[in-house]
Structure 1
Amino acid sequence: MGILELSLIGIGLAMDAFAVSICKGLNMRKINYVYGIITALFFGVFQAVMPLIGFFLGRQFSTYITTVDHWITFILLAFIGGKMIYEALSEDSECETCGSGIDIKELFLLAIATSIDALAVGVTFAFLDVSIFSSVLLIGVITFVISFIGVIIGNIFGSKYKEKAEIFGGVILILIGLKILLEALFF
């Protein structure tokens, strides 16, 4: 597998992280580059580590992982999206710091939810002729860059439409989870 194919796989895997990064950027009143880098690092590292784990698990567990990955992703994204919607509808509009803090637990859950498909890709890498370490490095770097850009894009729109943007971001997360679930169940 060549660098072009691996790059396209990396871009494809990064799209969920990109959408979630936009949602995270929506919550910022003012762009916080440190928060953007931390968010991008979470997504980039998880998108790199999961295929590595999948690669080493290989054939032994592939049937079990692919049969439940869509449910795990759906549950995590629906929970986090629902939480975002709830907080947007119940927060005090005078709050100056809402959405500006780094919630490591939430980032951890989001990184897992958006990288489960990368675990399955890693399982397929076990059956292909790929250099696993350069592949996961490329996937991680692509995801980092795309996620950082997503935070910035989200912030540009979120600073003007914060409450509506939080609701929209929560709905997006739920829809991403639902899309993954329906694709796995019906396609």
Structure 2
Amino acid sequence: MDISGLISELITLVIMAFALGMDAFSVGLGMGLVRLRFRQIFYIGVIIGLFHIWMPLLGMFIGKLLSDKLGMLATYGGGVLLLILGIQMIYSSFKRDEEPFIKPVGWGLIIFALSVSLDSFSVGLSLGIFGARTFLTIMIFGVVSMLLTWLGLLLGRRVQGWLGSYSEALGGSILLAFGIKLLFQL
């Protein structure tokens, strides 16, 4: 792969990581309204970053297995999966109910990290089907989601969370666009 292809892949992965991290950002905004200490904010960001590494890694591994077995059908499936994820994120951004708050410690933090990184598994599945670079992908996903989580938590301390649903809709729109691009690129 030439340097322009590598740069193109890097830009694509950063944009996808940003889209996936918007869920953690929006939830972090709401969670940041509760007075958390900076040490807690740091810890929450690291845990979410780790989940955004392991979940797409697992998805990419399974995606590579599917790619070898199913060929073009798996490619179409990956594009459709991104479409579904994007639509689901956009839909959930408009359907905001007051949910019971789970404290971001212990099992509550694990549940929180898992809930905001499940979409990373599915995207990892799609990327595994398309043969993305594994180490580069998971590191970008982990770092970007960790930074967006920290940003959301810190901003949540300052604002009233009005941006939360819009950021999730933006993330869903980006995934939707990538799904459409992959389907029509074939």
- TM-score category, normalised to shorter length: 0.5 to 0.7
Q: Unaligned regions of 5+ residues in structure 1, if any?
A: 85-98, 159-164
- The corresponding residue for 1:6 is 13
Q: 1:107 aligns with which of 106, 109, 130?
A: 109
Percent pairwise identity: 20
- The corresponding residue for 2:183 is none
Q: Work out whether 1:51 is the aligned partner of 2:53.
A: no
Q: Residues 106-144 of structure 1: CA distance to partner in whole angstroms, max 9, x if unpaired? A: 221121111111111111111223210121011100111
For residue 43 of structure 1, report the CA deviation from its aligned partner: 1.4
Q: Work out whether 1:83 is the aligned partner of 2:100.
A: yes
One-letter code aligned to 1:37: F
RMSD (Å) for aligned C-alpha atoms: 3.9
Decide whether the 8 Å contact of 1:21 with 1:39 is kept in 2: no
Aligned residues, how many?
152
Q: 2:43 aligns with which of 38, 45, 70?
A: 38
TM-score by length of 2: 0.64
One-letter code aligned to 1:43: I
Decide whether the 8 Å contact of 1:42 with 1:111 is kept in 2: yes
CA distance in 2, matches of 1:46, 1:106: 14
Q: Unaligned regions of 5+ residues in structure 2, if any?
A: 1-5, 177-186
When structure 1 is superposed on structure 2, of 141-150 and 125-134 the one drifting more is: 125-134
TM-score by length of 1: 0.63
